[in-house]
Structures are given as structure tokens and as C-alpha cells.
Chain A
């Protein structure tokens, strides 16, 4: 993996690759962000917003070579008996953190199983790490770790034995597997309870153990099927933090299949939305938007144009569209600059309505599956 200049650049760089894979012009990033609708009608503002939002991302363009595809499917069809579950899926995903979203029965888990080579293809082709799923499934599984959705364990083992056993099944030498099992169990937070009877594990501990057994052989791709299912809020946050760490800093690609939109929003740079076994949306999570700036819509009475000018003078992006003033503010500042400008303008302008224009992935998801 090409080293990047900054810690956060790694994830962003991958997102950018994904954008390029879809053929979006790198010179106009908002074409990508604004696929369902642009933020600013004015081209110059739109372009400037893109530069601000993406930060180092687009400046790295010349230095980051596109990585090979993590997985590619062409007209992938999958069926359980007479019931077709995936309908001619065409996907091209580059390494990174990818969210697989969709309502129940949309084919998310089936897609994961297909990528593992556990189901014979009903049609089309699928390649993971440029290996054919139909004929090289064992080689693919050596490089993949699966965290299954349902509760599962090999009976009669404690966490160390189970994790080491999984390592051995992949092909690790026994000594390496045991050493690595201790390491990953500490990493997922089960260090103190690694010799405890698995029957006494809480749901959160079982989830962590499933993650540990998937990580033990240090896969290049981690498939997580509902990783936060059944976890309490602190446990969920801890699990998401682990996923962020694995995918963001250490070059392990992650595919998260979930119906929990915030999980994807918090961990992924790219999202694939399925509905009824069909691809309905494939796009970047507006991480840059989430991390770096917030766009607000303001409506009110009085001199909204003056307010726009004042905000522009302070270095913010603002544009009056019909009766609505759209302004982009830094996340850490919140709405403070707007109220400061209002205070300076006195009674010449009244704000009656202020809402966040972009509500992130939930809007995108709902639009996609509608």
C-alpha cells in the first residue's frame, strides 16, 4: 500500500481512488459529493467547497497511484434454488473501508458468502484480490477473515484455544497461532478473560471473540457481518473504534454488512447499497463533509444577501438561492459565525429557520432504497 503523508490521508486516499474508479473527474470533486444534488449552484463556489471539504485528499492526486481492485463482480447472479437473491451485480471496489447497506433480505450476507466462495455462482463472475471466486476460493479465504453475524463457536474451547485453532485452520504454525491468539485477544479487549469459559461470555464479548478469530491470521480483507449486533452503546462504540483502527491505520480492508447506518457512517469511506439483490447506490460516504464542514440552510427576513456577504468576508462559503441562504461552516465552530454575523448586523435581518443541509448517509440510503 502506498504510504501517505498524513494519518488521515490513508483513508481519504482510498476514497479518492474509489471516486476515480467510478470515472468522476478528479478536478471537480463536488461532482462526486453532489451526485444527488450540488451544494452550491455557483460553479466557482461549488469547486471551492470541494477543495475545502476534501482537504489534502485532492492534493495527493499526483502522488497516489490507484490501487488494484479489491473485488470485482460482473453480472454476478446468485440464487438459492429457484429464488434469485443477487441480480447481475456489477461492482468494482478498491481497498478501504466499505459499508454494505441494505434492508433485510437485500442480499448483503449472500454477497459476503459468495465472495468467500461458499456458494457456487449462479451466473456472472466474481474476483477478490484478482483471484477467481469460483476456482480459487481456498486461496481467497487465506487472505480473508470473516466475522459471522450469528453466534458461533467451536465447543469445548476457551478464547485462546478457539482463536489459535482458527489460526491453525488457516495455515499458521501452532506456535505462531497461539502467540498471535494472545495478541489479538488483548487487542479486542478480551485479554483478561481469554481463559474463561465461553459459556459465561456476554454478547459483547462474543462479538469481540468473533472479531479476534477473524483477525488471527492477519487477513488483508475483513468481512464483518453485523459487527455491532446486540451490543450496548459503549460496547458498540468500542467495536467501531476497533474497526476504524484496523481499516484506517493498518491497511486492512474492511467490508461491513449492516443495516445500522451510523455504523457505516462512522467507519466507512465507501458505501454500497443493495435492494432486492440489486445495486441501487454506490458512492463515497461524505466523510470529508462530516469531518471537516457542515452545510446549513438559513431562511428568514431582511437582508439575507448582506448576511451572505458578511459570512463570505469572514472566509465562509455562502450563497443565496431563492429565499434560502446556504452556508458552509467548519464543524468545530458550529453555527457560532452565523450568530456573530447576525449580532453585528443588528435588526436588519431575522433568521426564522436554520437546518443542516446535509444529514449524511441516512438521507442517501433512504433515497437509494426508496
Chain B
């Protein structure tokens, strides 16, 4: 009968030579979300909007034919955009999806770092060969995957669908820049919303506090009203710069080739967003520490 060593066994395998160190954090984080039924249902529900837009695109052709047979002048008051399939159409879809993105960033993001701090998990992470940037990238990647799934993917699929329906060269000429604009804009959303949320999550410990702070700082709720009032009283568009969500929208319109709605150039909004990202990153570096030092 063979005798087996019941003691500690050395591992015969080899560690990966060049591991993507943030990848396990991202993968685990995404799986953790997908495992929860409430998030899964919410993710599927958030695709209803793009699906409806797909149906809209599909019905446009017979509607256009009908319009031309009726003399080419079909007008439905209040629904002027129903026949739109240009860049503004896609921008509308993106704005529509931004709400779902916001919900997920708040629900998922508010606990991403705070929970690790509550459970003392940071010392586990940083006792492994993981740098602070790897950790931040991994956590940002979790939010990035959600934004990618909720905003980038539906838009690109709609674009491909619209292309396959129209099969017109002039249509492609109108919307050829959509993938690039969408990718850039979604990346900007990920970086701005993600870093801001992670920074708040690293500062606070309670998810509800973090969520409310994010809504206010990002420019929803009371901030939206305050900005509008200030703009109305002073007649100065520059007050819009204090809303992060407004700045994001301005840059989005710029990159989608839509007319600017403010007195200032959207590059100013972009510069402001870059500054906010730098601040959030600095906060993250300050707040996320492998060890808590109490002097």
C-alpha cells in the first residue's frame, strides 16, 4: 500500500511570467454582479430601450415609403425625431442609456472600495504582487464593463442594424464616425464616472452616503436646479460648467458632431473633466493604503 505524505506539498507549477495583474479583480467583480439576480434583471431591462430603438429603425423604411406615397410630407407633431437615424439619433440613445449607466455606477460602484476597506481586504490585495494602479484599474474595469455593456454595445449594434437596413452609401457617409465617437465618449464616461465613484467609495464607508454624494457631485438632483437657476438669473452659460454631467454631455455633443448649445467651447468642459479625474485619482492614491496607520 503506498504511503502518501499528508504534510505540506510544494506546488510544482509556475506563475505566469507576465500576468495582467488587474484582470482577476475585474473578472471577479463582473462575475459577482452577474451572479446577483437583481442586477441581472436590471441589466436585461436596460436593453429594452435600445431594443425599442431597433424596432423604430426597422419601421422607418415602410414609414418613409408611406410618407413618400402620401406626397412626401408626413408630419407627426412632437415626434419629429421618429424618422431620424443620424448622429443625433444615436446620441439620444446614448443619453437614454446614461440613466441605466448612472444607476449601475451608483449601485455597484459605491461599495467597490468601501467594502474592501470595511472587510480589511486591502491588506490581502497589497500583500500580493499588485500595485495601487493595478487595483484601481481592476475596480475601474468592473464599472467599465458595465458601461461598455449598457452604452457602447447597444449603440454599435444599432449602428450595424441601421447600416444593414439602409444599405446606402450616403447613410454610411453620415454616420461613419459613430463607432469612434461612441468609443471615445464611453471611455470618457468610464474614466470620469468611475474615478469619481471610486474616489468617493474610498473616502466613505457607507454605501448610501457615497451614492448620495455621487448624485450631488455628478450634477443631478439639487445641483441641476441650482445650475439652471444661476444660468437664468445671470444669463451666463458658464454656470453650466459646475455640473459634471453637463460637461460630459457637452463633450458628447461635440464628439458626435452635434451643435454646441453653450457660449463656451466644449474643450473647456473636457479640460474641466480632466481636472476632476486628476483630483479623483489623487484622492484614490491618498485614501487606498495597504495599511491603516494610526499615530
Q: Which residues of A contact B (CB under 8 A)?
A: 80-81, 83, 113, 116, 118-119, 138-139, 141-142, 144-146, 148, 150-156, 165-166, 168-173, 176, 180, 183, 187, 213-215, 217-218, 242, 245-246, 249-252
CA A150 to CA B124, docked complex, whole Å: 11
Contacts of A187 in B (CB 8 A): 7-9
Most buried by B among A166, A169, A213, A214: A169
Q: Are B16 and A141 in contact (CB under 8 A)?
A: no
| B120 in the interface (beta carbon within 8 A) | yes
Not counting A81-B295, A118-B291, a sample of 8 additional A-B residue pairs whose C-beta atoms are within 8 angstroms of each other reads: A169-B125, A172-B15, A183-B9, A187-B8, A187-B9, A217-B11, A218-B11, A251-B10
CA A172 to CA B121, docked complex, whole Å: 19
Contacts of A250 in B (CB 8 A): 7-10
Contact with A along B5-21 (1 / 0, CB 8 A): 00111110101100101
Of the four ranges (under 10, 10 to 19, 20 to 34, 35 or more), the interface on chain B belongs to 20 to 34
Q: Are A152 and B128 in contact (CB under 8 A)?
A: no
Contact with A along B242-255 (1 / 0, CB 8 A): 00000000000000
Contacts of A80 in B (CB 8 A): 293, 295
The 10 closest A-B pairs by CB, nearest first: A218-B11, A152-B120, A146-B127, A171-B15, A168-B24, A171-B19, A169-B128, A138-B129, A141-B129, A171-B16
DSSP class of B's interface residues: helix, strand, loop or mixed? loop
DSSP class of A's interface residues: helix, strand, loop or mixed? mixed
Contact with A along B196-217 (1 / 0, CB 8 A): 0000000000000000000000
CA A276 to CA B129, docked complex, whole Å: 30
Contacts of B28 in A (CB 8 A): 165
Q: Are B21 and A169 in contact (CB under 8 A)?
A: yes
Q: Are A249 and B131 in contact (CB under 8 A)?
A: no
Contacts of B10 in A (CB 8 A): 218, 250-252
Q: Which residues of B contact A (CB under 8 A)?
A: 7-11, 13, 15-16, 19, 21, 24-25, 28, 32, 115-116, 118-121, 123-131, 290-291, 293, 295
Q: A154-B121, A154-B124, A187-B8 are in contact. Are A119 and B32 (CB under 8 A)?
A: no
Q: Are A152 and B121 in contact (CB under 8 A)?
A: yes
Q: Are A152 and B119 in contact (CB under 8 A)?
A: yes
- What are 29 A-B pairs at a CB distance below 8 A? A81-B293, A118-B127, A139-B129, A141-B128, A142-B15, A148-B124, A150-B123, A151-B120, A152-B123, A153-B119, A153-B124, A154-B116, A155-B116, A155-B118, A155-B121, A169-B21, A169-B25, A169-B125, A170-B128, A172-B15, A183-B9, A187-B7, A187-B8, A187-B9, A217-B11, A245-B7, A250-B10, A251-B10, A252-B10
Q: Are B11 and A169 in contact (CB under 8 A)?
A: no
Q: Are A118 and B7 in contact (CB under 8 A)?
A: no
CA A116 to CA B123, docked complex, whole Å: 11
Contacts of B25 in A (CB 8 A): 169
CA A289 to CA B7, docked complex, whole Å: 26
**In-complex Cβ contact of B120 among A150, A156, A168 (8 A):** A150
Q: Are A170 and B126 in contact (CB under 8 A)?
A: no
**In-complex Cβ contact of A141 among B7, B116, B127, B291 (8 A):** B127
